[in-house]
Amino acid sequence: MTLKRALATGLQYLLPHKTLSRIAYKVARIRYRPVKNWMIVKFVQAFNVNLDEAISPDPDDYEHFNAFFTRALKPGVRPVSPGAHDLVSPVDGRISQVGPIRDGRIIQAKGFDFTVAELLASDSQTARNYDGGQFITIYLSPRDYHRIHMPLDGQPTYSVHVPGRLFSVADWTAQSIPRLFARNERLVCYFDTPLGKMPLVMVGAMLVSSMETVFHGEVTPPYAKTVTTLTPEPATVLRKGEEMGRFNYGSTVILLFPRDSMHFLPDLHAGMVLKMGQKIGRWQERMPSQGSAD
C-alpha cells in the first residue's frame, strides 16, 4: 500500500461518518431554487451525467438535489431482458466482484473477504443456506441511476436493518479496509422467489444519508444502534424490473443466491459495467426436496 493510500485509508477511520451524512441529507434537500439548481448543474458537469436518459433534463423540475439524484428515467431506456428465467441486473453500476460463495465466505477484493453471516447479521443456519451458492456485488458511482429494481420476480418478506460505519465503498477502500461491506450500515431485504429466499443487500456509505424501499419507505435516517427487523405490510409480488428501492446518494448492492439455483453468464467479471435490466444470468426453480433458505 502506498503512503498516499495509507493516509487516505487512515482518514476514513477518523472521519465522523454519520455527522457528515446528516449534513449531506439536509443539504440535498434544500429547496431554494438558485442553490439546488446550482448543485444539480455542477454535479452534472463534474460527473458527466447523461441527462438524455432522464425523464426531465431541467433542474427546475426537481424540488431539490436529492430528487434529481434519484431521478426517474424515460420509459424504454432500460429494457428488461424478457426471458422467463433471465436474471437481470437490479441497478446501473459496475461489478465489484462476482462468483461462488465458498466455505461461507464472500470475496471483497484481493486479500479481503467476509462471511455471509457477518454480511446478513444472521445466525449460522441462515448463512449456511447460501454456502456453495453465488454472489454478485455491484457498485453504483455518483453518475449512475440510483433506483434499485427486482432481478427476478419476488415477494418481500422481511428486512434487517444493520447499523454500522459509513466508510466510502469506492474501489480503493474495498481494496484497503477489511470486511468493508460487513462493517458498513446496510439493509438486508429478503424476498421469496422461485429459486428460494433471496437476500438483496443495500450497503450504506459515506454521505449515503438515506436508504428506502417501496415497501418500508425511508429506513434511514435516523441511524439505529441495534439490529432491527422490519416487516412490510402484506405485499403482492414485485415483478422483474419493477422498482424496489433507492439510494439517496450512491452505494453498493449485493445479491446472494442459494446453491444450484442460478448460473451467471460466463463473461461477467470484476470491472464490467452493467445497466439495469441487462441479463446477467439464468435461474432455475428449486425443487421442494432442495429446501428453502429461511
Question: Active-site residue numbers?
Answer: 92, 149, 251
What sign does the dihedral 143-214-190-83 (CA atoms) show? negative
Give Cα separations from 164 to 177, 181, 182 (angstroms).
14, 10, 8
Residues 6+ apart with CB under 8 A from 38: none
178 with 112: CB under 8 angstroms? yes
3-state DSSP assignment of residue 114: strand
User: What is the Cα gyration radius of the chain?
Assistant: 19
9-24 in b/e burial notation, b at 16+ Cβ within 10 A? Answer: beebeeeebbeebbeb
